[in-house]
Amino acid sequence: MKSSIPTETDLVLIGGGHSHAIAIRKFAMNPIPGVRLTLITDVYHTPYSGMLPGYVAGLYNFDQCHIDLRPLAKFAGARIFVDRAIGLDLEKNQVLCANRPPVNFDLLSIDIGSTPASLTVPGATEYAIAVKPISKFLTYWHHITTMVSESPTQKMRIGIVGGGAGGVELAFAVESHLHQIYRNAKQPTDNLSLHLFQRATRLLPE
Ligand SMILES: Cc1cc2nc3c(=O)[nH]c(=O)nc-3n(C[C@H](O)[C@H](O)[C@H](O)COP(=O)(O)OP(=O)(O)OC[C@H]3O[C@@H](n4cnc5c(N)ncnc54)[C@H](O)[C@@H]3O)c2cc1C
């Protein structure tokens, strides 16, 4: 619904991940008159990471574990710009975007999540796939499942770095899905060797 009250404050959110998705929902349920909400996000569908291992395991489909930000923004009467924020002009109070004109703000919230500093680990850029951002990880994961489905007789070796909750859960999920593909293709599941690397002396230390 369009508000008849003129915009007094432009509240801009950069990043459409978990935090801002919740903020938009709360705003929709309790709008503030005179505040116009704008979301700048580089993806339409934001993955719900708690369900990511289940998606990797093949238990959920894409829609079940992703939030479509477009209806959510509509629900909140918010504008949505699908673009990447690349800078701020603090003199003019503007967000600079990769492909669209700058976006004015009075108030700004930046929540663009975390990305592992893989560049500091020798060889990581060449050989590793970071789990974050999740949307990028899922593109690689689809590539791996397609590769195994198309060549199930080939051996596959995968290493997962990090033995915390995320890494352990992901290891089970990767194994479960790939084993299923091997079983469907009547191939031995030991075509897959999975290695979990952990710095501490035990897995799941917390
Ligand atoms: C495998 C795994 C399982 C997890 N399971 C759980 C769980 O069960 N429970 C739990 O509480 N937490 C879990 N987490 C952690 C959880 O994902 C994070 O705590 C949460 O995502 C942080 O939310 P956020 O909004 O800060 O960032 P994110 O959800 O990462 O969102 C950031 C968003 O910003 C976008 N973005 C980045 N740069 C730009 C830019 N320049 N311009 C525009 N948009 C940009 C990204 O594409 C992304 O959509 C898990 C994480 C992983 C990896």
Q: What is the average pLDDT value for the chain, to the nearest integer? A: 93
Say yes or no: CB of residue 45 within 6 Å of ligand 1: no
Residue after which a domain boundary falls, among 78, 110, 142: 110
Tell me what the mean pLDDT of segment 199-205 comes to. Answer: 90
Q: Is the pLDDT of residue 132 over 90?
A: no
Q: What's the pLDDT score for residue 138? A: 93
Give percent above pLDDT 70 in the chain.
97
Compute, in angstroms, the gap from residue 42 CA to the centroid of ligand 1: 13
Segments forming the whole domain that contains residue 154 = 118-197
- For 77, 100, 140, 180, 181, the CA distances from 53, given in Å and listed in that order, are 32, 34, 14, 15, 17
Question: Is there a single domain that holds both residue 98 and residue 13?
Answer: yes
Question: Is there a single domain that holds both residue 53 and residue 86?
Answer: yes
User: How do residues 83-96 score in pLDDT, each as one tens digit?
Assistant: 999 999 999 999 99
Question: Is there a single domain that holds both residue 159 and residue 66?
Answer: no
Residue after which a domain boundary falls, among 84, 110, 136: 110
Q: Is the pLDDT of residue 136 over 80?
A: yes
Confidence of residue 7 (pLDDT cuts 50, 70, 90): confident
Tokens of 124: 């990581």
Compute, in angstroms, the gap from residue 102 CA to the centroid of ligand 1: 25
